[in-house]
Amino acid sequence: MKIALAQLNYRIGDFEENVTAIILGIHKAKDQGADLVVFAELSVCGYPPRDFLEFDDFIEKCYQAVLRISIECIDVAAIVGSPSVNPADKGKPLYNTAYFLSDGRVQALAHKTLLPNYDVFDEYRYFEPNRLPYDVVEYKGSRIAITICEDLWNIGDDSLYVRNPMDELMKLNPDLLINIAASPFNYTQPVSRFDVLKRNALTYKIPVFYVNHVGGQTELLFDGGSMVLGSDGLLLVQLKRFSEDFRILECQITDSGYQIADVRYQISDSRYQIADSGSRISLIHDALVMGIKDYFVKMGFSKAILGLSGGIDSAVTLVLAAQALGPANVKAVLLPSKFSSDHSIKDARDLAGNLGVAYEIISIEESFRAFEHSLESQFRGLPFNLTEENIQARIRAVILMALSNKFGYILLNTSNKSEAAVGYGTLYGDMCGGLSVLGDVYKTQVYELAAYINREREIIPQNSINKPPSAELRQDQKDSDSLPQYDILDKILYQYIEQRKGPKELMEAGFEEATVRQVLKLVNTSEYKRYQTPPILRVSPKAFGMGRRMPIVGKYLS
């Protein structure tokens, strides 16, 4: 039997496009001699559909889409993911289902048992966990166990769920395991994912065929990386990351077990490739570029605009946007004030020139003086402080949004995760935007991204990298005036946000008590700001947004 893996980029709720792509994949598999082609979890409707699942019309469209796809399955079979209706009068109204299609109709269903309800996942909100007896699909002389994403993750000593679907499926003596998934990217996920698949292959001594989503779905990014592992746990084939891919493998049952061969190229060396090819920072880079591109394409946008300050955050954002959308579709705006240094303006202009991105210079000085004049009687006798700094940031946002409205640009937010964590940003000012590119990238990681971007030639001017970080909203301002150095700050933030370490644990780890209390207070009291930020492209295991749910008025310092 020849099995095709179809790694596709779906659009949530775009049934016409998703069905067309799936049918094309079926025809491609059939034309190349495949017997079975496998698509990802909830491929028919896209993932995650969220509250679309509460609309009967949406579910009906899913079902009709499955029927349209099934008609194409003549002389070739397919596995597709879709919600299905729970016929019982108890429980949630839907299952998360894998459909096995052949001979022009639905032949079998496999429902998801383990429904993740942590971090970005909220599947138990919509789906009923499978409690029906398990079965395997017999096809072309093979007994196929079909599972869905999380159903393979309850393996090891720290099991999250009471039930393990694989233990029960293995009682039915399957020859191979197929897992269709919607596994979002974070920079630790490739290693974790490979480890889970390898554990299953070794524990149950069964080949594993794994098909994942690829593409950006607003903040959630899917890296693909679909793969096949032998029953010995060795990686046989891995599909591309961050792009669509298609691969056919030939399989046969022999006296020594289930044998798999790649029909496209010799696999001797690829058996020993590690699952997460590339460095962590290169994965983050590629994920962000894909996330920007897919957000614009799927929303029907084409042009981006951003404020270019000469600092490293806006520089990295501009490069990523130019790579994702093309330099001709990105506009940079320099918005200097009397506090902007000459070298910041030069650095910004040099970067735009290096990229071939159009830019304009619009001084905010006249606008700022107008605000000072308007508020003169109210502010008389009061010192220049954060108020005047915020006014400048909001003037810049007004100008950028005006250009966005007038010319159809989408404003990209350039704030990094360190700033977002401690509230180092102005609401309705530099926190504006349609999409936050670096909101899940710590400041120290931004420097790593800059180095990665400059790995072959200088694109980002070295001065933007070397100079002390500053918002340049007052004379001689530096971020370090009010924040710990970023190498210290980011370590505390990572331990608190990603690792969920409390103040006592942080102090025991060697961080000064005063610094810990300052940072945690800033994080916790800035939650109201983060509730009002644009969607953030998620690249870490714990990003701000849908995966981190904190009370605005909560108090937690000791």
- What pLDDT, in 10s, does the model give residues 368-408? 999 999 999 999 999 999 999 999 999 999 999 999 999 99
Is the pLDDT at 273 greater than 60? The verdict is no
8 Å CB contact between 439 and 416: yes
Is the pLDDT at 153 greater than 90? The verdict is yes
User: Which fold would CATH assign to domain 283-483?
Assistant: Rossmann fold (3.40.50)
Q: Which of 64-73, 116-125, 470-479 has the lowest mean pLDDT?
A: 470-479
8 Å CB contact between 292 and 324: yes
pLDDT band at 249 (very low <50, low <70, confident <90, very high): very high
Q: Is 149 labeled as catalytic in the residue annotation?
A: yes
Residue 206 DSSP one-character state: -
Q: Return the H-helix or E-strand segment holding 330.
A: strand 330-334
Q: Is 168 labeled as catalytic in the residue annotation?
A: no
Q: Which residue ranges does the chain devote to CATH 3.40.50.620? A: 283-483
Q: Classify residue 410 by burial, with Cβ atoms within 10 Å: 0-12, 13-18, 19+.
A: buried
Q: Which of 187-201, 221-235, 262-276 has the lowest mean pLDDT?
A: 262-276
Is the pLDDT at 267 greater than 50? The verdict is no
Q: Is 293 labeled as catalytic in the residue annotation?
A: no
Choose the catalytic residue: 2, 112, 198, 417.
112
Which CATH class for the 2-277 domain?
Answer: alpha beta
Which pLDDT score is estimated for 268? 35
Of 321 and 253, more confident? 321
Choose the catalytic residue: 41, 123, 419, 472.
41
| Nearest to 340, CA basis, from 467, 253, 452 | 467
Average pLDDT rounded to a whole number, residues 479-486: 85
Q: Which residue ranges does the chain devote to CATH 3.60.110.10? A: 2-277
Q: Return the H-helix or E-strand segment holding 19.
A: helix 15-31
Choose the catalytic residue: 149, 389, 432, 443.
149
Is the pLDDT at 464 greater than 80? The verdict is yes
Q: Which of 26-40, 98-112, 241-255, 501-515 has the lowest mean pLDDT?
A: 241-255
CA distance to 68, 317, 433, 526, 527, per residue, from 531 (Å): 41, 22, 14, 9, 6
Instruction: Please state, in angstroms and rounded to a whole number, the distance separating the CA atoms of residues 57 and 53.
Output: 9
Helices (H) and strands (E) in the chain, counts: 17, 20
